[in-house]
Amino acid sequence: MRKRIVAGNWKMNLNFSEAEDLLNDMMDLLEERPADEETEVIVCTPAVYLEMATDLAIDGNFYVGAQNISPHEYGAYTGEISAPMLQSMGVTHTIVGHSERRTYFGETDSVIAEKINQALKYDLTPIYCCGEVLEERQSEKQFEVVKRQISEAMFHLPEAELGKIIIAYEPVWAIGTGLTATPGQAQEMHAFIRKIVAEKYGQETAENIPILYGGSCNAKNAAELFANPDVDGGLIGGASLKAGDFVAIIHS
Ligand code: PEP
């Protein structure tokens, strides 16, 4: 059976004490009512809070992820944070290819492929984000776009490495907008992604790869989205900033 995963992406929000309070509140709620055993919880904090989060994660039942990594391993790349640095702090996951990084920082699938390589080299699980913008959906290009993103960023990998990735389908028109893909739209794309992975790597690898939905997923709509057979959980932005909402999503 595939893992169920709920990952929070705090983006560039919260000061240090707010971040600490949020993690403590989340841990208190999960102590009162633990997540079920098949559900993995990941919190992707801003880089400056990762050390605090990995310290707290020792007592809490959650993993800590970065929101981005450098495509380079070390050297003269001012301001960048590398995979070996993250690994040495106890970070276990990293988001790669988030649409905000593609849009505001010009990340292309070939750069994202390098980031995935770095993550895997240092045992960080990449959470690879893909998804179409509104005009692409309106012109019915969503499948073509997602297929291109997935093949360019991931299909150079051997099967064993590809099997370590978490995919997050995040229609860009749904991120932070309050617009959510319908459960039918999410299921249709997730099944499509599984199909293209199966075509390249075989049915077993495709059946095992977790595919998360992201885009205005919240405590109210999570259960309906997660009930789809190919939706294995969510990548949660705004709603991960409130402990009660995030934990309600985990219990969905
Ligand atoms: C995200 O940033 O990955 C995301 C899904 O954001 P939101 O839940 O706020 O739409």
pLDDT at position 1 is 76
Rg of the chain in Å (alpha carbons)? 17
Q: Output the six-digit token pair for 92.
A: 């276990």
CB atoms within 10 A of CB 179: 12
Angle made by CA atoms 83, 87, 90, in degrees to the nearest 5:
145
- Contact predicate 95/65, CB 8 Å: yes
Ligand 1 centroid from CA 42, angstroms: 14
CB within 6 Å of ligand 1 — which residues? 9, 11, 170, 175-176, 214-217, 235-239
**Residue (of 89, 78, 98, 7) closest to 48 by Cα position:** 89
pLDDT averaged over every residue in the chain? 96
Q: Choose which residue among 42, 93, 128, 236 to substitute to test ligand 1 binding: the one with the highest number of ligand atoms within 8 A of its C-beta.
A: 236
Q: Choose which residue among 94, 99, 170, 240 to substitute to test ligand 1 binding: the one with the highest number of ligand atoms within 8 A of its C-beta.
A: 170
Query: Is 144 noted as a catalytic residue in this protein?
Result: no
Query: Is 251 noted as a catalytic residue in this protein?
Result: no
pLDDT at position 60 is 80
**Residue (of 172, 192, 176, 180) closest to 226 by Cα position:** 180
Q: Which of 98, 100, 136, 190 is catalytic?
A: 98
| CB under 8 A, 24+ apart: contacts of 179-183 | 179/215, 179/216, 180/215, 180/216, 180/217, 180/221, 180/225, 181/213, 181/215, 181/225, 183/224, 183/225, 183/227, 183/228, 183/231
Ligand 1 centroid from CA 248, angstroms: 16
pLDDT at position 32 is 94
Whether the predicted model's global pTM rises above the 0.85 cut? yes
pLDDT at position 87 is 98
Atom of ligand 1 nearest to the CA of 218: 8
- Contact predicate 69/82, CB 8 Å: yes
Ligand 1 centroid from CA 237, angstroms: 3
pLDDT at position 142 is 97
Q: Output the six-digit token pair for 86.
A: 């993250």
Q: Which stretches of the chain drop beneath a pLDDT of 70?
A: none
